[in-house]
Chain A
Amino acid sequence: MRIVHPMPDESTATPVRAPLVTVDRLTVDMPLGRSGSSVRIVDGVDFTIGVGERVALVGESGSGKSLTARALMRLDRLAKLSGRVDFDGIDLLKLSDRDMGKLRGSSIAMVFQDPMSFLDPLMTIGDQVAETLRIRGIGKAEARKRALAVLDELGVDRAAERLDAYPHEFSGGMRQRVVLAMALVGEPRLLIADEPTTALDVRVQDQVLDLLDDVSTRRGLAVLFITHDLGVVAGFAERVMVMYSGRIVEDGDVASVFAKPNHPYTQGLIKAVPRIDQDLNTLYAIPGAPPPPLARPSGCPFHPRCDQRFDRCGKDLPALLPVGLSRVACHLLDGKGA
C-alpha cells in the first residue's frame, strides 16, 4: 500500500495547526454491573488534534483507545466522563445531551469497525445516509440528493439504483463506503474512524484507506484513526499516539516515532509489525498481556512486560513529558526532555 499525499509544509517536521480538539485529563469510568462500583478504563489522557490533521491512536485491545474515541462524542450512555474535551472552544463534556446531539454527525462524525453491525438492518441505505440530514430538518428530497452525491463521491457503484437497497444486499467493502458516507454527509470537521478496516479483507482494506485518505485531503477533514495495527498508521497518519492501559505513553509525528521510538512499548509494537522480507519464525511479540483495568500494576503499567525496567518503574507512574518534538511517558527518558 502506498498512499501519496502532499506534506502540508515540508520545512517543519510538525506543521503548526490551529487546534480543533483539545483533550485535557480525560477519564472514562465504566460501571461494573449494578454494584455501583466502576472501573477506570481511560485514566487521564491529554492530546490535541489540529484542524485537518490526521492522527492515529494505536493500542492493543483493552487499552482504552475505543472508549477514548467514543468519549469525544459521548457515545457510551453508561460511561462516566471527567476532564475536558474542547472542540472549537466548546467543552463537550459540559454540553446538554440535546446540544451534544446537535454536534454529533454535523461537527464530529464516526465510522466503525464492522460496517454490517453498525447499519440498521431494517432501513434502506439511502434513508440511513440521508438520516443525518433528516434529523436536522432537511427535506426528504434534498437529503436524498445529498446522500446520493456522497455515495457517488465515495465510489458506490450504481448508487442511484441502490439507495433503496438494504444493508444485507451490499458487500463488505461497499458497506464500509456506506458507513463512511453516513459519516461524511453531515460535513463534519472531525472524523473518528474506529478500526474501520479491521473487519475487511486486505484488498478492501487498502481501497478503504485510499478512499479515507482521498476524502480527508479533499475536504480538509481532521481524522482520529483508531487501530491496533501500526502497519496501517505509517501510510495514513501524520501523527501517532500510542495508548497503553488507559494512558498515552507516546505521542509524536509518524516519521520520528517510526524512525526512533522512545517508549519501550512503542519499540515493541514497531518490532512486532511483520515485514515482507521477514522469516515468519522470527516474528516478534511483546511478552505477556496488557493488565486488566481492575488489576493494574503499581508504577508504570507497562513495567512487568518491559525489558528495560529498573527500580523506579514499579514505584512511580511516569508522566507524559516532552522529549524532542514528541511526548513520552517513560522514566528512562526523564531529564532528557527539551
Chain B
Amino acid sequence: MLAFRAYSWFLSRRLGLTLLTLWGLASLVFLMIKLMPGDEAQMAAGADASAAQIEAVRERLGLDAPVIMQYLGFLGRLLRGDLGTSIVTLQPVLADLEKVLPSTLELVVIAMLLNLAVAIPAGIVAAYRQGGVFDTTSRITAVMLGGMPAFWLALVLQYVLGSVWRVVPISGQQGYGMNSPVVTGAPTLDALIAGNFAGFFDTLHHIVLPAAVLAALFATQIFRTLRAALLGVLRSDFIMAVRAKGATARHMLVRHALPNSLNPVLTLSGAQAGAMIGSAVLVETVFARQGIGAYMFNAVAQKDAFAVLGSVMFIGTVVCLVNLIVDILQLLVDPRIRAAQLGSQGQ
C-alpha cells in the first residue's frame, strides 16, 4: 500500500511536470503567432482569401478580443485538438500530421534500434579495453560524426551509396508497384500486414540509409555516455567482487557493469527519441520521405505559417510524452531510483 501511494505520488508529480511543459510549449507557440508580422487573419486564411473569408477567420479565431481572451481561446482550441488549418492542403494541421506521423515514427524507431545496436556494444568494448585500438578509433569516429551536419551527411551518403554505388535507393519509401494498402501509415508495417514480403524488404531497403544517418548522429552521444559510465562502474568495488566469483569478462560486463551503467544511457535515449523526431525534419526531405519533418519543411518552403507552428506544437507534445514514458520506464528498471524516488515520499 505504501509502495502504491509512493508510486502514485511520483506519477502525479511527473505528470504535473509534463502538463506544465505542454502549457509552456502552448504559450510559446501563442507568442510565435503574435510575433508574426502582418495580419493574423490574413495569414490564417491564406494569401488568396477574399475579404469575406478573412473576416470569417477573424471571427472564428476571436481576433478582435483582447489578447488574454485570444490566448484562452487558443488554449481552448488546442485542448480540442485544433492546431490550425494549413493554407496549402486546406486541411486541419492535426489531420495532416496524424496522417504522416506513423511514417516518422517508423523512421525514428528503426533509427533508435540501429543507434542502440551499434553504440551500446561499441561503448562496452571501448570501455573494457580503454586506450586500445578499438577505443581510440571509435572515439575519433564519434567526434567526427558528432560534428557533421545531419542533412549534409544525408546528402553525401545519398549521393555515394545511392547514385554512385547504387546499393540503396536514392529516395522515397518504397519502389514502384511495391506499395501495400495503407493500414497504419507506416510502410514497413503495412507491407507486413498485407503479407507482402517483397514489399516489406523493399521498404526496409528504402529506410535503411535515412535511419542510419539519423542513428549515426545520436549514436555518438550514446557511445560517449555509455563509455564514460562504464569506465566509472568498472572501477567500482562490486565489479571486483563479481570477478572474484569467477565470472567471465562477458558475464561481468553484460550482467553487472552494463545494467549499472544504463541509467544515464536510458535518460539520454529518452531525450534522443524526442530529438530524433525533431531531426527528422533534416533527413526526411533529403530522402523524399513522408513524415512530420517533411511536412514542416514543406510548410516553411510554402510560407504556411500555421502549419509550421502547428507542427512545432505537435512535435513538442510528442517529445514531452516520449520523455514521460522513458521516465516511468526508468523507475521500473532501476531499484535504486525506485528506492530513492519512492522511499523519500513513502514515509
- Across-interface contacts of A101 in B (CB, < 8 A): 246-248
Q: A residues 95-136 with Cβ under 8 Å of B?
A: 97-98, 101-106, 109-110, 112, 114, 117-123, 131-132, 135-136
- Across-interface contacts of B243 in A (CB, < 8 A): 75, 104
CB <8 Å contact, B240 and A118: yes
Interface string of B219-256 (1 = CB under 8 A from A): 00000000000000000111011111111110100011
- Across-interface contacts of A168 in B (CB, < 8 A): 335-336, 339
CB <8 Å contact, A112 and B336: no
Q: Is A21 an interface residue (CB 8 A)?
A: no
CB <8 Å contact, A75 and B236: no
> Closest A-chain residue to B336, C-beta based?
A121
> Closest A-chain residue to B236, C-beta based?
A117
CB <8 Å contact, A104 and B260: no
Q: Is B334 an interface residue (CB 8 A)?
A: yes
Interface string of B326-347 (1 = CB under 8 A from A): 0000000011100100000000
- Across-interface contacts of A56 in B (CB, < 8 A): none
The CA-CA distance from A42 to B191 in the complex, in Å, is 66
CB <8 Å contact, A120 and B256: yes
Range of interface residues on chain A?
20 to 34
CB <8 Å contact, A122 and B237: no
- Closest Cβ of chain A to B24, distance in Å, is 35
CB <8 Å contact, A121 and B260: yes
CB <8 Å contact, A136 and B248: no
Q: Is A182 an interface residue (CB 8 A)?
A: yes
> Closest A-chain residue to B256, C-beta based?
A120
CB <8 Å contact, A119 and B238: yes
The CA-CA distance from A253 to B87 in the complex, in Å, is 95
Q: Is B131 an interface residue (CB 8 A)?
A: yes
Q: B residues 290-339 with Cβ under 8 Å of A?
A: 334-336, 339
- Across-interface contacts of A75 in B (CB, < 8 A): 240, 243-244
- Across-interface contacts of A183 in B (CB, < 8 A): 244
- Closest Cβ of chain B to A162, distance in Å, is 14
Known A117-B236, A117-B237, A122-B260; contact A182-B248, beta-carbon cutoff 8 A: no
- Closest Cβ of chain B to A253, distance in Å, is 28
CB <8 Å contact, B245 and A118: no
- Across-interface contacts of B259 in A (CB, < 8 A): 120, 122-123
4 tightest A-B CB contacts, nearest first: A105-B246, A104-B246, A105-B245, A117-B237
**New contact pairs (16) apart from A105-B246, A123-B256, CB-CB < 8 Å:** A73-B244, A103-B246, A104-B243, A105-B245, A106-B246, A109-B244, A112-B240, A120-B238, A120-B259, A121-B335, A122-B259, A131-B245, A135-B248, A135-B251, A182-B241, A186-B246
Subset of 16 A-B contacts with CB under 8 Å:
A34-B131, A70-B240, A105-B244, A105-B246, A105-B247, A109-B244, A112-B240, A118-B241, A120-B238, A120-B242, A120-B260, A121-B238, A122-B256, A122-B334, A131-B242, A135-B247
Where the two chains meet, the residues of B that have a C-beta atom closer than 8 Å to any C-beta of A are 131, 236-238, 240-249, 251, 255-256, 259-260, 334-336, 339
